Structure 1
């Protein structure tokens, strides 16, 4: 998972993550990764509109954002 996070950081890419919160709730967040540390990473969370720290081991999935979600398909 860390490799995917580092790739998103290098590409300056927005990603959707599926994440287990500290309260054991599964959430989906759209984030822009700002910095990767040993066991966690700092990202701007578009859900909370602020920088947040995420634990790498709590990320269940990571997917690049390829289109605007408001777009009608």
Structure 2
């Protein structure tokens, strides 16, 4: 999981996370990773519109957002 998060940070990608909080609540978050440490990462959370710190071990799934540009003919 950590390697996937590192790639998303290096590529400056927005990702969708399934995350389990300390209290055991599972949430879906759309984030953009700002920086990482060995055990956690700081990201801008679009749901909360603020910077948040996430624990890597609590990330259940991470999927990069794919943007498609409309083609004008």
TM-score scaled to structure 1, two decimals? 0.89
**For residue 41 of structure 1, what is the aligned residue in structure 2?**
41
**Aligned-pair RMSD on alpha carbons?**
1.1
After superposing on structure 2, the runs of 4+ consecutive aligned residues of structure 1 that deviate more than 2 Å are: none
1:2-53 residue CA offsets vs partner (Å, 9 max, x unmatched): 0000000000000000000111100000000000101000000001000000
Q: Displacement, 1:67?
A: 3.7
Structure 2 runs not aligned, ≥5 long: 69-73
CA distance in 2, matches of 1:29, 1:67: 17
Larger radius of gyration: 2
CA distance in 1, matches of 2:36, 2:63: 17
After superposition, residues 27-66 of structure 1 pair within 5 angstroms as 27-66=27-66
Give the count of matched residue pairs.
68
1:4 alignment partner, SS class: helix
